[in-house]
Structure 1
Amino acid sequence: MSIKKLSTFLCLFAFFFGVSQNNSVFEQATEHYNKGEYSKAIENYEQILKNGEHSAEVYFNLGNCHYKLNAIGPSIYYYEKALLLKPNDGEILNNLGYAQNMRLDAVEEMPKTEIAQLYGNFVNILSFDQWAYLAVLLVILFVLAYLAYFFLRFASKKRIAFIASIVFLSGGALSVLLAYLQYQDFKNDNPAIIFSKEVKINAEPNNNSEVVFMLHEGTKVNVLDQLNDWKKIRLADGQTGWLPKNNLKLLKDF
């Protein structure tokens, strides 16, 4: 066997061995969960994450385990991570709602204009990678329609093929634009969950500055900036402030 073939074989073996091992650990975690041994189940799920597998199912089950242990911050954190991988999943949203009801902070989102709501609803129909895939599909259809226009003999069929090619090309261009816009929104959004039971939010990144408000475990924030060991955060209602970075955990740290 050549070195190249041996290397490929070893890579495939390592991959399938890793998948098999993670499945075994997942089954062990399920057994612990069913027995009410939530801490042991958490250890198993965290082992799967250390092995490099990040799935909505693992994060969702970690959220359930922490919820059973009344650890509100971690439960919301893992439900939110699961939701990033499986947006709009009904079961995740349902359990997240239960966990959020146990938070101390009630943060109301800033009202959006009708145009902003329409824009958000339309852009978020698909994720940015799904918009990109749709763009590729529409470009392929455009090429096929254009070829049909070129080779068809009858004027009526050529007209239909031409109109279809224009529609597909326009749809592809729109899909590229929407993919770009949503990707920019994704990059600008840097969510995190407060893990401390209670933390002071300062006006400036130092302990001597004015305390503008307090936050508690499980509250979701958006990280805007960082200076040394401090992070600037914004709430859904528009309030901003600084807190030591060890009081929160970023959600997109896959």
Structure 2
Amino acid sequence: MKTALGNRRGFGVALRLLLWGTLVLQPILALAAGPVDTGQPAALFYRANQFYQKGAYREAIASYRRVLSLGFESGNLYYNLGNASFKTGRKGWAILYYEKARHLLPGDSDLRANLNYASAGIPEGDRGRGFRDWLTHLAPLHWLLIVTSGCFFLLAGLSCAAILRPEQFWAKTSPFRSRWVGAAILVGMLVLAGAAISGLTLVERNRTWAIALEQCEARFEPSPGGTVYYRLPEGARLEILSTRSGWTLIRRGDGRQGWVPRGEVARI
């Protein structure tokens, strides 16, 4: 269980400074204001953690979801929701929240272990848990772009230096020649690798994934009377293709498509 709520996505530096100032003044304000307002996100998160520690998992889920309803989200919040859902036997919801947390905490080993444990044995549930999945969740996309851009400008600087001072970099007797060639090759490889990983991550993130919240049936047509094509286990990971009149067209990892009621799957 994570004990810190974390910042809302997109908060700026000024707002973070304001939050820190609020934390410093909180003890003084608490003495003047009396009891803590349990309608505040941080207070709700703390209360939910207390419910979880006492084994009141359903009450913890309700409090965590109330934090979400106030417009706040964080990796820690989704992680705790996943743990509480798993404790109540709601494996589909647990996997959904773990997947949401993974986008915000891509390198968290505890999260990865819990997600793998919850998904174990589920057909389509462990799809993509290999190298490709690890690669596309190696780091947040903006950090990949920053590192790749930095390597590109470094390579550009090395190239400019070699053009402007050819006698130092191209002469056979120059001590800088081998170092420059080695550095240029290394940085060039980093640029190519960064661009490839960033592109793959962007493509993967732009696909709409979902989790089957419970065991359900995929049909050939978007109708309760449609012929059943296949059955989905709880927690299966699927791709959403389109929606129509309360139905969702999904695709399994093996490429088979089918229609399921919209409420039986949830977007990651």
Bin for the TM-score computed over the shorter chain: 0.7 to 0.9
Deviations, residues 221-248 of structure 1 (Å, cap 9, x unaligned): 2212223322111222333211121211
Stretches of structure 1 that go unaligned for 5 or more consecutive residues are 1-7, 112-116
Deviation at residue 15 of structure 1 after TM alignment: 8.7
What does residue 195 of structure 1 align with? 213
Partner of 1:138: 151
In the aligned structure 2, how far is the partner of 1:158 from the partner of 1:248?
60
Q: Is the 8 A contact 2:48 2:61 kept in 1?
A: yes
- Kept after mapping to 2: 8 A contact 1:143/1:165: no
Report how far residue 109 of structure 1 moved: 7.2
Give, in whole Å, the separation in 2 of the partners of 1:25 and 1:204.
43
Please give the TM-score of this superposition, normalised by the length of structure 1: 0.73
1:164-207 CA-to-partner distances (Å, cap 9, x unmatched) read: 3465346425522432233123213x2211224x4221112223
Aligned residue identity for 2:266: K
Contact 2:136 2:197 in 1 (8 A): no
Q: Determine if the alignment matches structure 1 residue 175 to structure 2 residue 194.
A: yes
Q: Is the 8 A contact 1:134 1:175 kept in 2?
A: yes
Letter in 2 for 1:236: G
Call closer, same or farther: CA 1:152–1:52 in 2, change over 3 Å.
Answer: farther
Take 2:250 and 2:197, find their aligned partners in 1: how far apart are those partners?
Answer: 27
| Cα contact 1:221–1:234 (8 A) shared by 2 | yes
CA shift in 2, pair 1:14/1:172, >3 Å: same
Contact 1:145/1:161 (CA < 8 Å) preserved in 2? no
Aligned pairs for 1:50-69 within 5 A: 50-69=69-88
Residue 177 of structure 2 is aligned to residue 159 of structure 1: yes
CA gap 1:183/1:245 in 2 versus in 1, 3 angstroms: same
Distance in 2, matches of 1:213 and 1:153, equals 70
- State the match for 1:39 in structure 2: 58
The answer for the alignment partner of 1:4 in structure 2 is none
Distance of 1:110 and 1:62 partners within structure 2: 22
How far apart in 2 are the matches of 1:16 and 1:239?
A: 54
In structure 2, the CA distance between the partners of 1:141 and 1:220, relative to structure 1 (3 Å rule), is same
Q: Give the match's secondary structure for 2:229.
A: strand
Aligned match of 2:203 in 169, 184, 187?
184
How many residue pairs align between the two structures? 233
Looking at structure 1, the residues matched to 115 and 73 of structure 2 have their Cα atoms a distance apart, in angstroms, of 19
What letter corresponds to residue 63 of structure 1 in structure 2? G
How far apart in 1 are the matches of 2:134 and 2:118? 28
For residues 51 and 160 of structure 1, do their structure 2 counterparts lie closer, same or farther at Cα, with a shift above 3 Å needed? farther
Q: Distance in 1 between matches of 2:95 and 2:114?
A: 9
CA change 1:53–1:245 in 2 (3 A) is same
Distance 1:107 1:126, change over 3 A: closer
Q: Return the match for 1:230 from 230, 247, 264.
A: 247
> Residue by residue, what CA displacement relative to the aligned partner does 1:53-90 show, whole Å, maximum 9, x if unpaired?
32221111111111222222212211222223223533
Calculate the TM-score normalised by the size of structure 2: 0.70
Question: In structure 1, how many angstroms separate the alpha carbons of the residues matched to 2:159 and 2:229?
Answer: 61
What is the aligned-residue identity percentage?
26
Q: Secondary structure at the match of 1:75?
A: helix
Distance 1:204 1:139, change over 3 A: same
SS in 2 for 1:207: coil
